[in-house]
Amino acid sequence: MNATPHGLRRDPALPFNLLQSGHLIVQWSIGRQIALLTLSQMPDYQHTLAKPVSTSGVGLHTGCQVRLCLLPAPSNTGIVFRRVDLEGFEIEAKARHVARVSYATSLMKKGVLISTTEHLLSALAAMRIDNVYVELNNLEVPIMDGSALPFVRLIHEAGLRRQRARRTYARILKPIELADGARRIAAYPADAFSASYTISFPHPLVGEQHFEFAGDSAQYEAEVAPARTFGFLEEVETLRQQGLVRGGSLENAIVLARHGVLNPEGLRFPDEFCRHKVLDLMGDLVMLGYPLLGRVVAERAGHAMHVALVAQLLRDKSTWTLVESRRRADRELSFQKREAAVASSAL
């Protein structure tokens, strides 16, 4: 490989090229072989919020008004929900607490529920927030406009604070694939996180859509965060009878009728549906407990399969390993230096 992923040729005098995008590309020549290590957008240290922030809104499924506060948390806290209406009962955003995953990803601990977590978790993960207390005075995270953009803006309002503890990543070591009929989800080894999603709905506005995400938080904010949740008008009555989508409206979801959308403003992107699935996937992957270094490919999947992938990863720990970004880079560089020394001494 003679060029970086950005199409720039390597300067042989400079083993390190710091690109304008902020991606650190480390290349080392070993004879004719060039090793390429991309530390794209991977912070070394944990981050929390610089100050508390709050907002309020309605729960999509409960229809209840709820107040949401995001507060700074110490290193290695992770993302912890608190029900302030239940004496501050805490539920960690971890796979062992995942409860219901049909129409939303909910957490439950000792009978206490936190519902519809995925859009907020997606925003927190994409903005690299490792440690935060999420306080709610009801059981459901407010749906806001149905996307993750209001949460991204809330995080911007708070600002980020770098912490002393290093960040630990879960790096995929070998392919892991799950299938359920035509539904499929897989994770493959890669140096950075990326997601590839394909959906297929027999609707003139949806059909088959495909979206790839391999960007940073700015790209997430522009291309993924604004994508809203969606539903089909013909399903609304059934869902209501099941006690779901009581807070649903055209202000917080795209509603698809037989030939178009009911929302007067239309779509934010032609492939908004598929972008929203990537948003959901990134939120559900938070349950692993570590940011993922790997490529996730999903076809016709949904919350249940996203969570099944996390569960399978936690069951089979031979498929991934924990790495600290800087140590990992140092380790790989020292290996490559040794290889280079061996190669030059052989000349």
Measured from the CB atom, the residue of 271 and 280 that comes closer to Zn ion is 280
Closest to Zn ion by CB, 89 or 201: 201
**97 catalytic residue (yes or no):** no
Which of 45, 42, 1, 36 is closest to 23 using CA atoms? 42
Q: Least Å distance between CB 116 and Zn ion?
A: 8
For Zn ion, give the closer residue by CB, 53 or 274: 274
Site residues (CB under 5 A) for Zn ion? 229, 280
Q: Residue 253 CB, nearest distance to Zn ion (Å)?
A: 9
For Zn ion, the closer of residues 229 and 325 by Cβ is: 229
Q: Which of 97, 119, 303, 306 is an active site residue? A: 303
Report residue 213 CA to chain centroid gap: 10
Instruction: Please identify every residue annotated as catalytic.
Output: 303
